[in-house]
Amino acid sequence: MRLLLPVSIIVLTLLKDSWQATKIKIDPGVKPTFISTSQVFKVQSDETVVLPCRVANPGPFVLVWKRGIAVLSAGETLVSPDPRVTLNPDYSLEIKEVLPQDAGDYVCQIGTLEPIEITHTLVILLPPRIDYIKPAEHLDVKIGSSVRFECKSSGNPPPKITWSRINNILPSGEQTVTTQELTLDKVDRRQAGTYQCLASNGVGEDARKNITLKVLYPPEIVLETPVVYSGLNKEAQLVCIVHGVNQPTVTWHKHNLRLNPTEHHIIVPRVTRYTLIIRNVTENDFGNYTCQAENDQGRSKKVIQLTGVPPPVKVVSPRTGKCKDNYNISWEVESFTPITEYNLTYRLLGDVNEDSTSKYATKRGGKRFDKRKLAMPIIGSLQSVGLQSMSYNIRGLEPNQQYEAHVTVKNKYGWSPESEAFTFKTSDSDESTADNPHLFADNAIGDVQSVRSFTANKAQLIGSTAVTFIYTILIILLFFN
Ligand SMILES: *[C@@H]1O[C@H](CO)[C@@H](O)[C@H](O)[C@H]1NC(C)=O
Ligand SMILES: *[C@@H]1O[C@H](CO)[C@@H](O)[C@H](O)[C@H]1NC(C)=O
Ligand SMILES: *[C@@H]1O[C@H](CO)[C@@H](O)[C@H](O)[C@H]1NC(C)=O
Ligand SMILES: *[C@@H]1O[C@H](CO)[C@@H](O)[C@H](O)[C@H]1NC(C)=O
Ligand SMILES: *[C@@H]1O[C@H](CO)[C@@H](O)[C@H](O)[C@H]1NC(C)=O
């Protein structure tokens, strides 16, 4: 009995084998044919692949697996010494933990008189790998030079290389470019950053490598404003924005003398923003200040002017007037020191419907500037400093014409810079007839004493002089307080 059990298993196994054998060998007279067809198998390395070879009517013929000239198996005998290779009972060839060198053609052949065969192609997919990047992972280049980045990758299928910049777009303005080599022409400081090469082929994980580009350049200074308007006992802030690698050294100078931090001169460096604070400005403080920045690539400087003169005025009246022959121009200025004079210049540009520039040119050619002074006594008190609004009614204009005006104001330190040219247009009809005749009646042409009212913070001057199309009116305000 003890023997019987293993024996019966052997018998059963034999029976099973012969049953299978009889099932395949349906008709020994018929030639064997392949049920499996030639195929391409794409697998990643380390995986297992099974290459099928199913045959109908195998008959007595021997089935052979070959790779090139090497025979891997013959019949039920495995020839290959490679432990990763096994032959399954259905004659399929199984390869475990495939390696890149397993790639190639595998032939399953039936040893008939004229052998017939199928060929499987094994493709081993390899995730992308970046073999090297050129010129280096960290690169320092001088401003203005050109650089070429190269990213060399391997993998199967060959990976696609894409360049991008971390937290930024590429200098070309694109988010990414697909190219092996990325060229940057004439680099400037905005092209500094971390560039990333990404290799992808759809197999496994993408590969990435960085190139950090540092652009070396002499410091660049940007002024927040080239002129700082201030007044006595005020605090003035002079600001230089300094761009530069390797921490530029920033110093402040006045008249070639280096300024050291004191109670009066406070120097605040904050990242790229360097501020010189002048506390309690005195007349001696007015003048030109230089901020100078230096690093190992060079040095640069910029001048900031601290001045007591008023800033340029801002004209605030609407561009289209309400009346045919007069226009109320009003402006604002923030002065730290009392304003003593105004200078209003205006001229005809031309008919609104015509080309204003050509008209202006021809008319101007034939005429001279006609300058007049108007002395204006002040009634009431005028607030001396802070934001001030003023207006002046320009009389004797032509209807439906375009004019250009400039306004400057003066305090004891001098004239403000000229404001931008302000253009306005007279109306072709009087919008309101109730107010204007009254105004004209009170203000005869040439009447220089025609101040109507002064309120705190607001000077309104009405009056005009003989009319040509180019005027300059200088108004001197006399202060009683
Ligand atoms: C590339 O740089 C970015 C940002 O500095 C960083 O997050 C990333 O890990 C870097 N990648 C490699 C591959 O060094
Ligand atoms: C500013 O300086 C003037 C004199 O130079 C002085 O009278 C005044 O008290 C100072 N003001 C402040 C706020 O320090
Ligand atoms: C300051 O600079 C301005 C403009 O650069 C110049 O017009 C002016 O004369 C200079 N002032 C002094 C006191 O050097
Ligand atoms: C001119 O405009 C100013 C400010 O808008 C105003 O206060 C003033 O009354 C106007 N004057 C005339 C004559 O319309
Ligand atoms: C008034 O301004 C005009 C133009 O800006 C200028 O030509 C003229 O000299 C100035 N007049 C005075 C007295 O400043």
What does the domain layout of the chain look like in residue ranges? Answer: 27-125, 135-216, 220-307, 314-477
**pLDDT score, position 28:** 55
CATH homologous superfamily for the domain 220-307: Immunoglobulins (2.60.40.10)
Q: What is the CATH T-level fold of the domain 27-125, as seen in this structure?
A: Immunoglobulin-like (2.60.40)
Q: What is the CATH T-level fold of the domain 135-216, as seen in this structure?
A: Immunoglobulin-like (2.60.40)
Give residue 288 CA to ligand 3 midpoint distance, Å.
Answer: 6
Q: Has this prediction a pTM greater than 0.75?
A: no
70-102 burial, b at 16+ Cβ within 10 Å, e below that, comes to: eebbbeeeeebeeeebbbeeebbbebeebeeeb
pLDDT at 431 over 60: yes
pLDDT at 360 over 60: no
**pLDDT score, position 29:** 67
**pLDDT score, position 2:** 46
**pLDDT score, position 442:** 35
**pLDDT score, position 66:** 94
Which atom of ligand 4 is closest in space to residue 462's alpha carbon? 13
- pLDDT-above-70 percentage for the chain: 76
If one compares 70 and 439, the residue with the highest pLDDT of the two is: 70
Residues 6+ apart with CB under 8 A from 36: 52, 53, 54, 55, 108, 118
pLDDT at 26 over 70: no
Nearest to 141 by CA among 215, 66, 241: 215
- What is the C-alpha to C-alpha distance for residues 425 and 402, in angstroms, rounded to an integer? 4
Burial class (CB in 10 A: 0-12, 13-18, 19+), 258: exposed
Atom 14 in ligand 5: residue holding the nearest Cα: 343
Chain centre distance of CA 255: 38
pLDDT at 462 over 80: no
Instruction: Name the residue type at position 212.
Output: T
Which atom of ligand 1 is closest in space to residue 167's alpha carbon? 4
- What is the C-alpha to C-alpha distance for residues 211 and 192, in angstroms, rounded to an integer? 10
Same fold, 220-307 and 314-477: yes
Which atom of ligand 5 is closest in space to residue 406's alpha carbon? 5
Strands, E assignment, 271-411:
273-278, 287-295, 298-307, 314-315, 327-335, 339-351, 371-376, 386-394, 401-411
**pLDDT score, position 421:** 87
Ligand 1 within 6 A of CB of 168: no
- How many H-runs (helices) and E-runs (strands) does the chain carry? 3, 38
Cβ atoms 64, 111 nearer than 8 A: yes
User: Where residue 340 falls among pLDDT bands split at 50, 70, 90?
Assistant: confident
Residues 6+ apart with CB under 8 A from 148: 134, 135, 181, 182, 183, 184
**pLDDT score, position 25:** 46
**pLDDT score, position 45:** 87
pLDDT at 114 over 70: yes
Ligand 2 within 6 A of CB of 280: yes
**pLDDT score, position 389:** 85
Pocket mutation for ligand 4, best pick of 460, 461, 462, 464 (most atoms within 8 Å of C-beta): 460
According to CATH, what is the number of the domain 314-477? Answer: 2.60.40.10
Average pLDDT over residues 96-106: 94
Cβ atoms 140, 216 nearer than 8 A: yes
Pocket mutation for ligand 3, best pick of 257, 305, 306, 415 (most atoms within 8 Å of C-beta): 305
Q: Which of 189-193, 218-222, 366-370 shows the lowest mean pLDDT across its residues?
A: 366-370
Which atom of ligand 4 is closest in space to residue 328's alpha carbon? 1
Average pLDDT over residues 185-208: 93
Ligand 5 within 6 A of CB of 470: no
